[in-house]
Structure 1
Amino acid sequence: MAWLATYLESVDPEAPSRGSPGVPERPPPPPSAAGWAEFLNASGGARGESAVALLTLSDQEQHELYEAARLVQGAFRKYRGRRLKEQQEMAAAVIQRCYRKYKQLTWIALKFALYQRMTQAAILIQSKFRSYAEQKRFQRRRRAAVLIQQRYRSHREHQRLQQGPRAPPASLPPRLRGTFLTIKQDQAARKIMRFLRRCRHRSAPRPFRPGHAFLPRRGDAT
């Protein structure tokens, strides 16, 4: 350990071997390998063993350290589980909200489709009923017209039989007499055709207007 004492004396500010203030000091020479080995051997004895013993934990300290580590791990797992649970709850809320929206839209679409089908069915029923009512009304009017024509013809025939045969005026030539009878027949045919066209026009189905309840017109078939 002579080299260590020499080194300490060289660096001690109060050492007697210190040079004069005007002369610069030279740094001491570095220690040799033998000096370092001696220093390490001297410090690696009882002092080194005591330092290593200080680094070794007792059973109680190891138990406390284990408990602390276990508490830290448990707290971290709880924190991670809580975060995971919050994420799962948020995802479940989003899924439920989307499902409710989808269910609501599906119900609205079904109601709209049902309303369209009911509207089409109502239009069809009203059209068929009006056609049936107009057909019955036309048949009644046709039967009434036929009955009126029969009664009128019977009345004319009765008058003709009572008054005797009646000829066209003798002053008219034969060609004009035939023309006069043809004109009378054409006029009667036009009246009948006009009456039938009017009945058919009335029997045509009316357009359906949504939102208005169907009320049968007066005179429909019962």
Structure 2
Amino acid sequence: LSLSLSLSLSLAHLSLSLSLARALSRLRSLSLSLTHARSLGRRLKEQQDMAAAVIQRCYRKYKQLTWIALKYALYKKMTQAAILIQSKFRSYYEQKKFQQSRRAAVLIQQYYRSYKEYERVKQGPRGPGALNTRLKGSFLTKKQDQAARKIMRFLRRCRHRIKELKQSKELERK
């Protein structure tokens, strides 16, 4: 009995030690797989963090580029508006200057014609003040010539300016 008991105990002990060895082996493998899982988890977390950083960097760059594009478009529109305003103002200014010169020329012509008519009516062709009249006439003719030269010079400048403006508009269109 004691032999059978001892055999049975030793079998139980052997069986227990085998199951204990299996349990220890399983525990070790679980421990290894747990540390392996932790290192995999760490690597996965690092990859996720790096991917998030790349996505954020790309988004910031995209946002910055679109902002720059919007600012450039606004700058271009404002520049075009300023150019348009400047050209309209210059045109208006040149027109006013031309009209003023034209009015001055017409006024000079009116005064001259009025004076000529007055002198013609006042004295005959060979009256007492004929010499004085001739001197006045030559003086007025000289004044009229100067006024005419001044007007012609202004008109030439205006034509030249108009030609320059047309050329600059053609260059802008190209």
Q: TM class by shorter-chain length?
A: 0.5 to 0.7
Instruction: Select between 98-107 and 132-141 the one with higher mean Cα deviation.
Output: 98-107
2:26 maps to 1:75: no
Q: Write out aligned runs for 1:75-154 (5 A).
A: 75-154=35-114
TM-score, normalisation: structure 1: 0.50
Q: Write out aligned runs for 1:1-222 (5 A).
A: 54=14, 57=17, 64-65=24-25, 67-164=27-124, 191=148, 194=152, 197-198=155-156, 200-201=158-159, 204=162
Task: Name the aligned partner's letter for residue 107 of structure 1.
Answer: W
Measure how far apart 1:67 and its partner are.
4.3
Task: Name the aligned partner's letter for residue 155 of structure 1.
Answer: Y
Secondary structure of 1:122's counterpart equals helix
The size of the alignment, in residue pairs, is 139
Distance 1:202 1:128 in 2: 17
Distance 2:114 2:161 in 1: 30
Identity of aligned residues (%): 54
Assess if the C-alpha contact under 8 Å between 1:138 and 1:200 holds in 2.
Answer: yes
Distance 1:147 1:105 in 2: 63
Gaps of 5+ in 1: 1-46, 167-187, 209-222
Secondary structure of 1:164's counterpart equals coil
Q: Which has the larger radius of gyration?
A: 1
Aligned partner of 1:6 in structure 2 is none
TM-score, normalisation: structure 2: 0.61
Distance 1:76 1:52 in 2: 35
Distance 2:99 2:157 in 1: 9
Distance 2:15 2:107 in 1: 133
